Structure 1
Amino acid sequence: MSETMRAVDIKGGMGPISALHITEIPKPKPTGAQALVKIKAFGLNRMDLSQREGQYPVPPGAPKTLGVEFSGVIEAVGESPEKGFKVGDEVFGLAYGGAYAEYIAVSTHLLVHKPKELSWEQCAGIPETWITATQAMYLIANFTPGKSILWHAGASSVSIAGIQLSGADSASAIYATARQDEKCAFAVNTLGATAAFNTKTQDWVAEVMKATNGKGVDIIIDFIGGEYFQQNLDAVARDGVIVNLGFMGGTKVPTGTDISAFIRKRCTFVGSSLRSRDEEYQGRLRDQLVDHALPRFKDGRFTIHLDKVLPWEQIQDAHALLEENKTKGKVICTIS
């Protein structure tokens, strides 16, 4: 068996899209509870763009190779894999890095058996996005049936998952924002959001307040950061929660920001991430995904929206698609 494999690397360790290329690197070996998975497909995420540019810290011990979600076949296992995982199993899973490659060594605690009803490409688009949405909505925001919820970047993969989860678990109302009318229509007509607002052409806070009869929304899941900080405070309901997962709109709040809502509304602003969490935490989320969402993937109640599937030789084109911010759903690369 070869001691090397092909993987996507970045010339100079960080750089623009043109720095991405496929090269040979050492093939990992599974130890302990790990499995060696021969990758069939991997999903792209916005963090990959930040990591490529040197702006996303990789967790200690994680491979420097990009990629945190994948699907494939177990080729070998370490000394103590989780019960139920063996050589030959078709799986998909979450990783701390290393998925832009022919093989990955990953903990079996973060793997899920691939259902026959789903393709390799669909499965590669589940782990990071659906687990992130699950974490933000349930563990961080403490969602319960009857609460209202707003998902910013409504056509992003995490919000696509979150809007579907919100509908399945009886949110009283589901709102979304986007910067294109087409994406707003997608959130409502395809995903089932109650309403969606174009933040470029509408005063989305005023629209939310009108839709909620002045109450505001109970939970806001935010990927924008500084640019929407004040507006989130204005739109959140009393005792509401704002969960920040990203900084697409920068990390600096505008001059004159009024934080009185923290006391007036008793609201909570909390930041979170998934990749920096330990294996036990991520494993619990994996179990919740298997119990809660997997049956709905199998019978079609939940849909994995794939915007584009490309061979991994076109990794530069795949990153360009994400940077253009025009996608509705996942960009997936396949390895043949």
Structure 2
Amino acid sequence: MRVIQIEGGSGPAEALRLAERSDPQAGAGEIRIRIRAAGVNRPDLLQRKGGYPPPPGASDILGLEVAGEVDQVGADATRWTIGDRVCALLGGGGYAEYAVVDARHALPIPDGLEFVQAAALPETVFTVFANVFESGALRAGETLLVHGATSGIGVTAIQMAKAAGARVIATSRGAAKTEAARALGADVSLDASEADLDAGIKAAGGADVILDMVGAAYAETNLNALNPGGRWVVIATLSGAAATVDLMRMMMKQATLTGSTLRRRSADEKARLAAAVEAAVWPWVVSGAVLPRIEATFPLAETKLAHLRLEAGEHVGKIVLTV
């Protein structure tokens, strides 16, 4: 099969090469997917640069989410049959023509959804559900503050929060992104490059849950934004990981600061999460309340262009490889 592999250097042009490897084989409890599309995510950029190695047992090939057809079924993977259209969360291996995955980590592609759309769902939907709805315990009537609101995660978080009956305050940079977040359903959309974020968030009523992909640079803003009993959930640290937080103010607000990663969770935990997502989120996908916004697609052989597009930071939604 054709794959994209890392061959030294940190820049996309030097590091990413089209190569051939043996087709993987599905073992017990696994399925093999003939990949039609694969999502591109920031963890892929980090791994390419040597900063985010795959967990033990995972493929060294980039790619954390795919969509395609089941073409091989291992023993005990009784839910799936050859030809089923599925999307799946991977520990690695998505930038390829075939991938083997724990059968419990795959979900059926809803009717009417194309492979490119479906490939943009698993990493974002699983991440938002685990962090906003489980760790953050967002409820109807509460307010979610989303930083980086036009990223793939941000776009999904806005839609899922609105589908759940919550209000959304979105922050992004530039008038175009601010308007895009508003068009996606954000109740308040703030331009972080111009507005006084603290004042804008306060005027909007503050936040009960914060989904933070920025990290250190927004620590004080997030603490100011939290309503009493608020939950601040960190999923990335694009501006740095080391921050100073006034613990006394956290205590006085009875606030919670937490965070997580998805890739290194156990197979059983990912299976539990997949079942919860299918029960709670898939009906929103089927109804159209939650749909991926696709910024651009690139063929597998042009993966370096996809990485450059993501690194430029001007995208709204997801970038997807077609295979």
Structure 1 range deviating more: 284-293 or 152-161: 284-293
Alignment deviations for residues 24-50 of structure 1 (CA, whole Å, 9 cap, x no partner) = 122211111001111111000011000
User: Aligned residue for 1:175?
Assistant: 169
SS for the counterpart of 1:320 is helix
User: Aligned residue for 1:282?
Assistant: 270
Structure 2 length-normalised TM? 0.96
Structure 1 length-normalised TM? 0.93
SS for the counterpart of 2:21 is strand
Alignment deviations for residues 47-73 of structure 1 (CA, whole Å, 9 cap, x no partner) = 100010011131111111000100111
Show the 5 A alignment for 1:110-189: 110-171=105-166, 173-188=167-182
Aligned residue pairs total: 322
For 1:299 and 1:178, the matched residues in 2 are separated by 27
Does 1:59 pair with 2:49? no
C-alpha displacement of 1:259: 3.7
Letter paired with 1:210:
A
Q: Is the 8 A contact 1:233 1:259 kept in 2?
A: no
C-alpha displacement of 1:267: 1.1
C-alpha displacement of 1:78: 1.4
SS for the counterpart of 1:26 is coil
Alignment deviations for residues 73-120 of structure 1 (CA, whole Å, 9 cap, x no partner) = 111121111x32012212111110000001101011011122231001
Q: Is the 8 A contact 2:163 2:284 kept in 1?
A: no
Does 1:306 pair with 2:297? no
Alignment deviations for residues 172-212 of structure 1 (CA, whole Å, 9 cap, x no partner) = x2101111221111111x21111111111111111111121
C-alpha displacement of 1:295: 2.6
Show the 5 A alignment for 1:203-222: 203-212=196-205, 216-222=206-212
For 2:226 and 2:239, the matched residues in 1 are separated by 18
Q: Is the 8 A contact 2:131 2:259 kept in 1?
A: no
Q: Is the 8 A contact 1:234 1:261 kept in 2?
A: no
Gaps in structure 2 of 5+ consecutive residues: none
Q: Is the 8 A contact 2:169 2:204 kept in 1?
A: no
Q: Is the 8 A contact 2:227 2:253 kept in 1?
A: yes
SS for the counterpart of 1:266 is coil
Q: Is the 8 A contact 2:24 2:98 kept in 1?
A: yes
Q: 2:69 aligns with which of 67, 73, 76?
A: 73
User: Aligned residue for 1:327?
Assistant: 315
User: Aligned residue for 2:80?
Assistant: 85
- Deviating above 6 A after TM superposition, structure 1's stretches of 4 or more consecutive aligned residues are none
Gaps in structure 1 of 5+ consecutive residues: none
Aligned-residue sequence identity (percent) comes to 31
User: Aligned residue for 1:191?
Assistant: 184
User: Aligned residue for 1:237?
Assistant: 227
SS for the counterpart of 1:260 is helix
SS for the counterpart of 1:59 is coil
For 2:165 and 2:110, the matched residues in 1 are separated by 26
C-alpha displacement of 1:298: 2.5
Structure 1 range deviating more: 191-200 or 283-292: 283-292
Show the 5 A alignment for 1:239-258: 239-253=229-243, 258=246
SS for the counterpart of 1:288 is helix
For 2:86 and 2:165, the matched residues in 1 are separated by 30
For 1:94 and 1:141, the matched residues in 2 are separated by 22
